[in-house]
């Protein structure tokens, strides 16, 4: 009934559509190319070494395989992604500091002698100063929480308040970046 009211060409198209046949004259859209897989990021190797100044102990240098980028923090309101990144950076940094530096030196007085922290971003590309500081936010919080608490329990809700020693002048914190083939961070703890 419906087919009789249409012109013959439209009736044929409707009959094929209902029957599930394809129209040979209709142009097919080309398939979109498959999405590329996420590129693999090459990370640096985890190392720890003691720094010496004039034959005396000068602190520690830690090189960690941690990927920092400004996009992690400028996620356009992706609150859960920011929170997951923050938790991962804090847990990883505190875990490495406790693992390596507790085994290398069990005394809390050497940790108490640390006066300066230099955070270096290792990457093939560079960030400007504002983005460099924001990329290191959670790593800095973790380092200063470790400096304040050592191996004792850290208050996770107040993790950002442990760096108040920078404002009082007890500690100094500097930021730097270095071009390398692999991504990572270097933490220099100076006495």
The three-class DSSP label of residue 185 is strand
DSSP 75-105: SSS-HHHHHHHHHHHHHHHHHHHHHHHHHH-
For residue 72, what is the DSSP state? G
Chain mean pLDDT for the chain:
79
The pLDDT value given to residue 178 = 92
Using one digit for the tens of pLDDT, what is the confidence trace for 126-167?
Answer: 888 888 888 888 899 999 888 888 777 887 778 878 878 777
Cα distance between residue 94 and residue 150, in whole Å: 9
Q: Do residues 75 and 92 make contact, with C-beta atoms less than 8 angstroms apart?
A: no
Both tokens of residue 179? 């071009």
The pLDDT value given to residue 22 = 63
Cα distance between residue 80 and residue 187, in whole Å: 27
The mean pLDDT of 25-38, rounded to a whole number, is 66
Higher pLDDT, 111 or 29: 111
pTM to 2 decimal places: 0.71
Of residues 154, 138, 125, the one with CA closest to residue 90: 138
Higher pLDDT, 23 or 113: 113
Q: Do residues 162 and 143 make contact, with C-beta atoms less than 8 angstroms apart?
A: no
Q: Indicate the pLDDT class of residue 70, thresholds 50, 70 and 90.
A: low
With a cut of 90, say whether residue 185 has pLDDT above it: yes
Q: Does an H or E element contain 191, and which?
A: none
Domain residue limits, the chain: 47-190
């Amino acid at each position: 009934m419906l087919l009789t009211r249409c012109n013959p060409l439209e009736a044929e198209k409707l009959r094929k559509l209902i029957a599930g046949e394809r129209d040979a004259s209709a142009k097919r859209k080309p398939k979109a190319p498959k999405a590329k897989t996420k590129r693999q990021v090459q990370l640096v190797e985890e190392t720890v070494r003691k720094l010496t100044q004039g034959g005396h102990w000068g602190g520690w240098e830690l090189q960690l395989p941690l990927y920092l980028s400004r996009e992690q923090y400028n996620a356009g309101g992706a609150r859960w992604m920011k929170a997951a990144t923050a938790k991962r950076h804090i847990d990883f940094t505190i875990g490495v500091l406790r693992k390596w530096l507790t085994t290398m030196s069990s005394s809390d007085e050497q940790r108490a002698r640390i006066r300066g922290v230099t955070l270096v971003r290792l990457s093939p590309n560079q960030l400007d100063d504002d983005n460099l500081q924001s990329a290191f936010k959670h790593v800095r919080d973790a380092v200063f929480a470790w400096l304040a608490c050592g191996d004792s329990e850290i208050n996770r809700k107040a993790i950002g308040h442990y760096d108040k020693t920078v404002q009082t002048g007890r500690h100094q914190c500097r930021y730097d970046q270095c071009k390398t083939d692999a991504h990572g961070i270097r933490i220099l703890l100076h006495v």
